[in-house]
């Protein structure tokens, strides 16, 4: 049976090696005054920043360059929006990781408003509804993880005892253009590659077993899981400079963003918001390090439910694809093999977080006494099974 579903629009996507050189041409379609937002130094070290600036100058495009070196905070969005609101900006382009793209997305939305972005954040501020008016926005990811280039929300955070991570969201905030050039990700160090890749995998799995998943999402996710099975571990190790592997993971990340935008996510991202609000820890690290523990307890609880077989079969197929990639041959798994492949999925994820440079929570100062306050702010989201506070706390405890 094909269930009813809705499917959100995607950006106008340009995907492939060498597409970065087309970015100035795309920018020029929107105007000649822009804000360029990039990350700290990686784009500069590779020479790509100078390449982009030179072409923009040749095209007589006036650009204001801003750099982002941490996950975006509301105060930073307010600062940038206020500074450039009267500069007749015609387009915003963000070239970088998920934090950079979220910054660009939020700035493009808030250039049209006089209020603080806090007024429009979900679950906080004044609860105002944004009109959706924005400045055209171009997203160019340089990491393969968040899929922010395909989503309609920008995640903003304020870190501390009363911290939070909340979304600025509207259907119109989907980037107008998304340019994915996998060559840009080759310079990513192993730690970022590993955490980003596990973030993408957590989003694929979370969307695939979401209570809001649809046949359309399933079909997209299955191919992406196959590619992750073929290339994720190796792109973190012996294929770090391989363009084919980087291309596969860039596609995996893109699909993970499309999937989460349409199916929502589960307990891993339910935990990521409070963890990232209370502690200065990268989003990809949180998702990557918690994924094995979350999958393990979901599978355990689904085995105890009378109607858990549907999701267990999904986990089993995901395990087969991640373990075997394109070598799986077909998508049929016998009932007698479901438990086996579920166990192999957990073992594979545990192997990845132990062998790859994916940090434990304790490395960022999270301790046993912090767990209760994190759990108190955690939601199950669209998790396939409802977890109680003790079960959620055990997920965290397993990665301290």
Give the pLDDT mean for 81-89. 97
Residue 45 φ/ψ, nearest 5 degrees: -65, -35
* pLDDT score of 329: 66
Sketch the domain layout of the chain as residue ranges.
12-184, 188-397
Q: How far is CA 66 from CA 92, 113, 340, in A?
A: 11, 20, 50
Pairing of strands 164-169, 153-158: antiparallel
Residue 219 has pLDDT above 70, yes or no: yes
pTM given for the model? 0.96
Host H or E run for residue 365? none
Joined together, the tokens standing for residue 68 give 């982002």
* pLDDT score of 275: 97
Span 12-184 CATH architecture = 3-Layer(aba) Sandwich (3.40)
Give the pLDDT mean for 181-204. 96
pLDDT confidence bin for 125, thresholds 50/70/90: low
Percent of the chain clearing pLDDT 90 (strictly above): 90
* pLDDT score of 306: 81
On the 0-12 / 13-18 / 19+ scale of CB atoms within 10 A, 293 is buried
pLDDT confidence bin for 100, thresholds 50/70/90: very high
CB 24 within 8 A of CB 190: no
Bridge partners, residue 138, by sequence: 93, 177
Give the pLDDT mean for 15-25. 96
- The stretches of the chain forming alpha helices (DSSP H) are 23-28, 42-45, 48-58, 74-84, 98-110, 190-208, 215-235, 243-263, 267-278, 283-304, 309-324, 338-355, 371-376, 389-397
Per CATH, the number for 188-397 is: 1.20.1090.10
Residue 13 has pLDDT above 70, yes or no: yes
Residues 126-183: tens digit of each pLDDT: 778 999 999 999 999 999 999 999 999 999 999 998 899 999 999 999 999 999 999 9
Domains 12-184 and 188-397 share a fold: no
Q: How far is CA 2 from the centre of its chain?
A: 27
- Euclidean distance between CA atoms 25 and 20, whole angstroms: 10
Give the pLDDT mean for 323-334. 80
């Amino acid at each position: 049976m094909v269930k009813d579903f809705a499917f959100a629009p995607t950006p106008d996507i340009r995907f492939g090696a060498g597409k970065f050189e087309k970015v100035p041409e795309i920018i020029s379609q929107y105007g000649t005054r822009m804000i360029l937002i990039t990350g700290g130094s990686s784009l500069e070290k590779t020479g790509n920043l100078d390449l982009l600036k030179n072409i923009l100058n040749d095209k007589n495009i006036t650009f204001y360059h801003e750099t982002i070196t941490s996950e975006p905070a509301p105060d930073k969005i307010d600062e940038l929006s206020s500074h450039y609101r009267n500069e007749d900006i015609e387009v915003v382009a963000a070239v970088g990781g998920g934090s950079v793209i979220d910054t660009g997305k939020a700035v493009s939305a808030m250039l049209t408003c006089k209020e603080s972005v806090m007024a429009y954040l979900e679950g906080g501020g004044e609860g105002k509804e944004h009109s959706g008016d924005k400045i055209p926005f171009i997203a160019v990811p340089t990491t393969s993880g968040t899929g922010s280039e395909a989503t309609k929300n920008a995640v903003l955070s304020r870190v501390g005892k009363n911290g939070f991570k909340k979304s600025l969201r509207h259907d119109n905030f989907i980037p107008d253009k998304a340019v994915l050039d996998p060559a840009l990700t080759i310079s990513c160090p192993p730690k970022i590659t590993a955490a980003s890749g596990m973030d993408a995998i957590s989003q694929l799995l979370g969307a695939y077993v979401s209570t809001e998943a649809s046949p359309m999402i399933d079909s997209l996710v299955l191919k992406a899981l196959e590619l992750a099975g073929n290339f994720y571990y190796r792109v973190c190790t012996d294929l770090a400079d391989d363009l084919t592997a980087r291309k596969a993971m860039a596609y995996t990340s893109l699909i993970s963003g499309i999937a989460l935008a349409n199916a929502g996510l589960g307990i891993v991202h339910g935990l990521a918001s409070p963890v990232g609000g209370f502690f200065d820890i990268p989003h990809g690290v949180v998702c990557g390090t918690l994924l094995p523990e979350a999958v393990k307890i979901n599978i355990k609880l689904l085995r105890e439910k009378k109607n858990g077989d549907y999701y267990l079969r999904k986990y089993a197929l995901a395990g087969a694809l991640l373990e075997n990639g394109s070598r799986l041959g077909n998508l049929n798994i016998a009932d007698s093999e479901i438990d086996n492949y579920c166990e192999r999925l957990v073992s594979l994820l545990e192997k990845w977080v132990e062998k790859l440079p994916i940090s434990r929570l304790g490395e960022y100062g999270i301790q046993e006494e912090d767990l209760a306050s994190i759990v108190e702010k955690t939601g199950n989201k669209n998790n396939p099974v409802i977890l109680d506070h003790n079960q959620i706390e055990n997920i965290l405890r397993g990665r301290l």
